[in-house]
């Protein structure tokens, strides 16, 4: 299982970036996938989840309305469109394969078994 993320960079507050994650080594279309970020000195935080089957998507409250997750199963690629970026969005972003996904009352909990190396996003003020 491998992931290669790309699209990170440095942008000003209010800017946009589109992250991509090319997956290989497993049947991409049959797995829920997620984007996770980790800021310096903090633990990992899931940002967005793309489920398979029902095709539902989920977002952390901190990015809801600004980020959009999508996937192209034909290309084995996961995307994250990020708009209206804020300094607190600065982090290493990586994609991961979900090994467990639970949604109760609209709140999602996800665990992952494989992840990529990540791509750095820096938002400057």
7-26 pLDDT, tens digit per residue, is 999 999 999 999 999 999 99
**Pairing of β 107-115 and β 91-104:** antiparallel
Rg of the chain over CA atoms, in angstroms? 14
The per-residue pLDDT for 72 is 96
Q: How confident is the model at residue 85 (pLDDT cuts 50, 70, 90)?
A: very high
* Rounded mean pLDDT, 97-101: 95
pLDDT > 70: percent of the chain: 100
Alpha carbons 32 and 29: distance in angstroms, whole number = 8
The per-residue pLDDT for 50 is 96
Q: Is the pLDDT of residue 54 over 80?
A: no
Q: Which neighbouring-strand residues pair with 79?
A: 20, 70
Q: Is the pLDDT of residue 53 over 80?
A: no
Q: Residues of 71-95 as b/e, b for ≥16 C-beta within 10 angstroms?
A: beeeebbbbbebeebeeebbbbbbb
Q: Is the pLDDT of residue 32 over 80?
A: yes
| CB neighbours of residue 15 within 10 Å | 15
Which residue's entry shows tokens 């690629």? 77
């Amino acid at each position: 299982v491998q992931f290669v993320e790309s699209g990170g960079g440095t942008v000003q507050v209010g800017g946009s970036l589109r992250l991509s994650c090319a997956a290989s080594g497993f049947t991409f279309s049959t797995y829920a996938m997620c984007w996770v970020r980790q800021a310096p000195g903090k633990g990992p935080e899931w940002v967005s989840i793309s489920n398979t089957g029902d095709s539902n998507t989920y977002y952390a409250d901190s990015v809801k309305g600004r980020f959009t997750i999508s996937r192209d199963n034909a290309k084995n690629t996961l995307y994250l469109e990020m708009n209206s970026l804020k300094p607190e969005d600065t982090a290493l972003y990586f994609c991961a394969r979900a090994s467990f996904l639970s949604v109760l009352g609209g709140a999602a909990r996800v665990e992952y078994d494989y992840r990529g190396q990540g791509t750095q996003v820096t938002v400057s003020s």
